[in-house]
């Protein structure tokens, strides 16, 4: 059993927000069939949103480009799905939430409390939702205020998911820590765009979006590495993790756990595969505990 911000996980792999997190049933499937140590819901906001026009997601040679636009039924509409996930998943369920202000984040957190999520993840990093996500997460003062607002009304861990689309991510991470965050999640997608050369039109309905998948892993590893040095709270790594080797690399950079997103599109049981690979690696290296990996690369300098 693995402990992260007070939560008991069977292994250090977590379903990332936005992937198979729209229903209680899909969250349970990832936990039971996929072997995830914990699951994070789709990001839920104060009001229903339909998101951006299609195409909203395309597969590229290097990963995925998406501009979903934070579609969600609002917190009253998602409450039942969260209750199902909590009842049947048998793993910690983290509610991902978003808003345009500290008051909206507080409203959504309070609205989901009846379903008893094990933790909250604050989405201050989505790059393609005007007025939300990275529009909030690029301002250190606002990140601190949002974190404080949620911490004031919940008694479970609060994680803050950071955007890489800033000049200094450690400044944003420090603001989250100052606001009382129990952990930071690093990173959300990188701003990106694709154009159809025959028509000249952008491929996505929103024109631009966020890049995920293998291409972003080196960026994620560097962000994790820098934040591990800058912060006292745990750093959860996400971005391009699709193998146990990727997870080990992320943990050596400083990640206390890893989230998996895009790789789930290929196979749901990716979590079991990664956790089994980590265990085999630990045995081969003679490490007694997975915690021996966390921040190991910092000791090599």
110 within 8 A of 153, measured Cβ to Cβ: yes
Q: Mark the ranges of the chain whose per-residue pLDDT is less than 70.
A: 301
Which residues carry a binding-site annotation? 42-43, 66-70, 123, 161, 187-189, 213, 239-240, 261-262
Long-range contact list for 226-230, CB < 8 A, 24+ apart?
Answer: 226/169, 226/170, 227/162, 227/169, 227/170, 227/173, 227/184, 227/186, 227/254, 228/253, 228/254, 228/255, 228/295, 228/298, 229/170, 229/254, 229/298, 230/170, 230/173, 230/174
Q: CB neighbours (10 Å) of residue 255?
A: 30
CATH superfamily of 2-51+67-192+213-299: Aldolase class I (3.20.20.70)
Which residues carry a binding-site annotation for FMN?
42-43, 123, 161, 187, 213, 239-240, 261-262
Q: For the chain, how big is the Rg over CA atoms in Å?
A: 18
Separation between Cα atoms, residue 34 and residue 231, nearest integer Å:
31
pLDDT, tens digit (0-9, with 9 covering 90-100), for 235-294: 999 999 999 999 999 999 999 999 999 999 889 999 999 999 999 999 999 998 999 999
| Predicted structure pTM score | 0.96
- Quote the distance between the C-alpha of residue 9 and its chain's center: 16
The packing angle between helices 169-178 and 217-230, to 10°, is: 50
Q: Which of 186, 191, 214 is nearest to 63 (CA)?
A: 214
Q: What is the pLDDT of residue 195?
A: 97
Distance CA 172, CA 186 (A): 11
Q: β-strand 57-60 against 63-66: which pairing, if any? A: antiparallel
Give pLDDT, residue 130: 78
Complete DSSP assignment for 195-213: B-TTT--BSBTTBEEEEES
| pLDDT value of residue 300 | 82
Name the catalytic one among 126, 141, 171, 223: 126
pLDDT for the residue 18: 87
pLDDT at 129 (0 to 100): 80
Residues annotated within the binding site for substrate are 42, 66-70, 123, 188-189
What is the reported pLDDT for 301? 67
Active site residue 28: no
d(CA 200, CA 61): 19
pLDDT at 2 (0 to 100) = 87
């Amino acid at each position: 059993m693995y402990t992260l911000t007070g939560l008991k996980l069977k292994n250090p792999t977590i379903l990332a927000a936005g992937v198979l997190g729209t229903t209680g049933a899909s969250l349970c499937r990832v936990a039971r069939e996929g072997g995830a140590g914990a699951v994070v819901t789709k990001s839920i906001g104060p009001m229903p949103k339909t998101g951006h026009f299609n195409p909203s997601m395309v597969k590229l040679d290097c990963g995925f480009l998406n501009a979903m636009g934070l579609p969600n039924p609002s917190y009253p509409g998602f409450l039942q799905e969260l209750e199902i996930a909590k009842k049947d998943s048998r793993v910690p369920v983290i509610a991902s939430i978003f808003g345009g202000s500290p008051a909206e984040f507080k409203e959504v957190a309070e609205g989901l409390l009846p379903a008893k999520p094990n933790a909250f993840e604050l989405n201050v990093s989505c790059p393609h939702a005007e007025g939300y996500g990275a529009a909030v997460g690029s301002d250190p003062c606002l990140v601190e205020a949002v974190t404080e607002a949620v911490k004031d009304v919940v008694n479970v861990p609060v994680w803050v998911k950071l955007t890489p689309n800033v000049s200094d991510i450690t400044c944003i991470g420090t603001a989250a820590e100052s606001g009382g965050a129990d952990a930071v999640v690093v990173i959300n997608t990188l701003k990106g765009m694709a154009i159809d050369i025959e028509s000249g039109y952008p491929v996505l309905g929103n024109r631009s979006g966020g890049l995920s998948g293998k291409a972003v892993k080196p960026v994620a590893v560097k962000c994790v590495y820098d934040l591990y040095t800058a912060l006292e709270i745990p750093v959860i790594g996400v971005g391009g993790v699709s193998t146990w080797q990727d997870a080990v690399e992320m943990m050596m950079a400083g990640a206390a756990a890893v989230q998996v997103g895009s790789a789930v599109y290929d196979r749901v049981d990716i979590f079991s595969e990664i956790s089994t690979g980590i265990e085999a690696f630990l045995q081969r290296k003679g490490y007694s505990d997975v915690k021996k990996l966390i921040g190991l690369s910092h000791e090599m300098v």
